């Protein structure tokens, strides 16, 4: 017991929100210290051997621009590990970057996982972290972390519904008494919204754009509802003849483009509400729905959802970091970890 306390004192324990789009790392006592894209750039050398060229922000800037011997990959797809080796390397990079080189004790690591992933996938996450230098690994489900980060008292008897729209998945969870009473995960998130924008621009403007341009469109002028004043921007890409071209694209175009992925998210929220235990339903009417994740930043999303589900909808403060804030709090409160840990 004393040895454990001493180890805990000297170890830089950390929490990792291992997202499809971004990885956020918190260290106990320091808060969030890393927030970078979940991207790895690999260079293939002679004899077919791979070498990591860059991780995070630097690697993301290479997407769509790399020569033939370099590729930028996203090891996480739809909220789960798509490339085990690259995920392990990415986690190792973030652990080494966050962990004090002076410390000789390996850190304990809390990792957020999507709700409903298989035991095999959970094992893959644990093994990646252990191989990357963790001493001990705890798994926490994303909807629970998002709820904590949004300021919800998850240990109390009152029911809350959280909608976390991430890069690869949207997680809808009902929390009460330290657990998830009801939860649903769908493979619709920021990536699918970006793809819908790419397809809409191709079909309607005969213009080919990449992932980074689509994401920028979503951030700059993305809207779920008709805005009082339409937002517009210049979009550059390649046309059918292979020539470079520029178009003017507006928020109404984005609204049309992303209708289907937003409809899928709204439908999943309705499905969870329809299956709600009656005793919790009255809590949800009082507390409303709280939205977190990068998707929450789409203009008018709260009004869009409220019109469909007929309940108050609130966007969390700093929704992009709700899961990270939640894992950071769990890191600082051992009793909370014991209550909600998925291990």
205-261 tens-digit pLDDT: 999 999 999 999 999 999 999 999 999 999 999 998 889 999 999 999 999 999 999
- Per the listing, tokens 């017991």 go with 1
For 192-251, CATH number? 3.90.640.10
Which of helix, strand or coil describes residue 179?
Answer: strand
- pLDDT, position 163: 97
Question: For 145-178, how does the pLDDT look when each residue is reduced to its tens digit (9 = 90+)?
Answer: 999 999 999 988 899 999 999 999 999 999 998 8
Specify whether the CB–CB gap between 265 and 237 falls below 8 A. no
- pLDDT, position 342: 57
- Per the listing, tokens 């009793």 go with 335
Specify whether the CB–CB gap between 171 and 313 falls below 8 A. no
Specify whether the CB–CB gap between 138 and 341 falls below 8 A. yes
Neighbour-count burial of 145, counting CB atoms closer than 10 A to its CB (0-12 exposed, 13-18 middle, 19+ buried): buried
- pLDDT, position 9: 38
- pLDDT, position 6: 35
- pLDDT, position 101: 52
Tokens linked to 42: 């690999």
Dihedral (CA of 248, 253, 254, 255) sign: positive
Q: Taking the chain (343 residues) in consecutive chunks of 10 residues, what is each chunk's mean pLDDT? A: 39 84 89 90 80 88 81 84 84 80 73 84 86 89 94 91 94 91 92 97 96 95 96 95 93 97 97 91 92 96 97 95 91 84 60
Do 2-38+77-144+323-340 and 192-251 come out as alike in CATH topology? no
CA atoms within 13 A of residue 103's CA, in its CB half-sphere? 21
What's the Rg (C-alpha) of the chain? 21
Tokens linked to 26: 């918190």
The reported pTM is 0.87
Specify whether the CB–CB gap between 249 and 233 falls below 8 A. yes
Tokens linked to 14: 């950390």
Tokens linked to 317: 């403060």
- pLDDT, position 238: 94
Task: Give the rounded distance of the alpha carbon of 54 from its chain centre.
Answer: 21
Q: What distance in Å separates the CA atoms of residue 292 and residue 305, rounded to the nearest whole number?
A: 13
Task: Give the rounded distance of the alpha carbon of 313 from its chain centre.
Answer: 20
- pLDDT, position 186: 93
The residues, any chain, with a CB within 8 Å of residue 292's CB and separated by 6 or more, are: 146, 149, 150, 162, 163, 164, 165, 316, 319, 322, 323
Superfamily classification of domain 2-38+77-144+323-340: ATPase, nucleotide binding domain (3.30.420.40)
Q: What distance in Å separates the CA atoms of residue 209 and residue 205, rounded to the nearest whole number?
A: 11
Tokens linked to 271: 């499905």
Domain boundaries, the chain: 2-38+77-144+323-340, 39-73, 153-188+259-319, 192-251
Task: Give the rounded distance of the alpha carbon of 268 from its chain centre.
Answer: 18
Task: Give the rounded distance of the alpha carbon of 107 from its chain centre.
Answer: 23
Q: What distance in Å separates the CA atoms of residue 227 and residue 141, rounded to the nearest whole number?
A: 35
- How would you classify the pairing of strands 313-315 and 289-292? parallel
Nearest C-alpha neighbor of 329 from the set 79, 150, 99, 103: 150
Q: In the chain, count of helices (H) and strands (E)?
A: 13, 18
* 153-188+259-319: CATH class: alpha beta
What element of type H or E holds 171? Answer: strand 170-176
């Amino acid at each position: 017991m004393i040895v454990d306390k001493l180890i805990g004192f000297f170890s830089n324990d950390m929490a990792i929100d291992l997202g499809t789009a971004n990885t956020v790392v918190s260290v106990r006592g320091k808060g969030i210290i890393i927030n970078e894209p979940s991207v790895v750039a690999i260079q293939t050398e002679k004899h077919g051997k791979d070498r990591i060229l860059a991780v995070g922000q630097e690697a993301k800037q290479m997407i769509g621009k790399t020569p033939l011997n370099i590729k930028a990959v996203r090891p996480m797809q739809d909220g789960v590990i798509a490339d085990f080796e690259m995920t392990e390397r990415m986690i190792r990079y973030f652990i080494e970057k966050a962990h004090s080189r002076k410390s000789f004790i390996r850190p304990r690591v809390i990792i957020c996982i999507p709700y409903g992933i298989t035991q095999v996938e959970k094992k893959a996450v644990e093994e990646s972290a252990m191989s990357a230098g963790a001493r001990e690994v705890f798994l926490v489900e994303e909807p629970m972390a998002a709820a904590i980060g949004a300021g919800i008292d998850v240990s109390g008897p009152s029911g809350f519904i959280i909608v976390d729209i991430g890069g690869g998945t949207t997680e809808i969870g009902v929390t009460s008494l330290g657990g998830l009473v009801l939860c649903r995960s769908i493979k619709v998130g920021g990536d699918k919204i970006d793809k819908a924008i790419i397809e809409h621009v191709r079909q309607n403007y005969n213009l080919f754009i990449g992932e980074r341009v689509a994401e920028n469109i979503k951030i700059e002028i993305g809207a779920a509802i008709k805005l009082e004043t339409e937002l517009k921007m210049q979009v550059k890409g390649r046309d059918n003849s292979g020539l470079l071209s520029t178009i003017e694209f507006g928020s109404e175009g984005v609204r049309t483009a992303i209708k289907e992925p937003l409809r899928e998210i709204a439908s999943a929220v309705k499905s969870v509400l329809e299956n709600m235990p009656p005793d919790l339903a009255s809590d949800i009417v009082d507390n409303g729905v709280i939205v977190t994740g990068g998707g929450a930043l789409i203009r008018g999303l709260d009004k869009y959802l409220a019109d469909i589900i007929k309940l108050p909808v609130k966007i969390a403060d700093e929704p992009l970091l709700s899961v990270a804030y939640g894992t950071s709090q769990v890191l600082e409160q051992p009793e909370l970890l014991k209550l909600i840990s998925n291990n």
